[in-house]
Amino acid sequence: MKKITTHSLHITIILALSVGLALVFNMLRPDPLPMVYAQESQVQLDAQSGEISLKDATLLFVSQRAIFLDARDNYFYNQEHIQGAFSIPPDYFDYEFPKISDQLTDKILITYCDGELCQLSHELAEMLKGQGLDNVYILVNGWGLWKNENLPTTSGSTP
Partner 1 sequence: MSNSHIHTTLALLAQLTRWALVTIFLAAALPKIFAPADFALSIANYKIVPHILINIIALTLPWLELVVAILLVCRFWAPAVFFLANTMLLIFLAALVSAYFRGLDIDCGCFSTAVTLTPNMQWYMIRDVFFLALGLGAACLDKHDPLA
Smallest separation, CB 12 to partner 1 (Å)? 9
Smallest separation, CB 55 to partner 1 (Å)? 23
- Side chain identity, residue 79: Q
73 vs 8: CA distance, rounded Å: 74
Nearest by Cα to 55 from 70, 36, 42: 42
Query: In the complex with partner 1, which residue's Cβ is closer, 7 or 99?
Result: 7
DSSP 31-60: SPPPSSPPPPPS----TTT-B--HHHHHHH
Query: In the complex with partner 1, which residue's Cβ is closer, 28 or 117?
Result: 28
Instruction: Catalog residues that contact partner 1 under the rule CB under 8 A.
Output: 3, 7, 10-11, 14-15, 17-19, 21-23, 25-26, 31, 33-37, 39
139 vs 71: CA distance, rounded Å: 11
Smallest separation, CB 8 to partner 1 (Å)? 8
Query: In the complex with partner 1, which residue's Cβ is closer, 37 or 75?
Result: 37
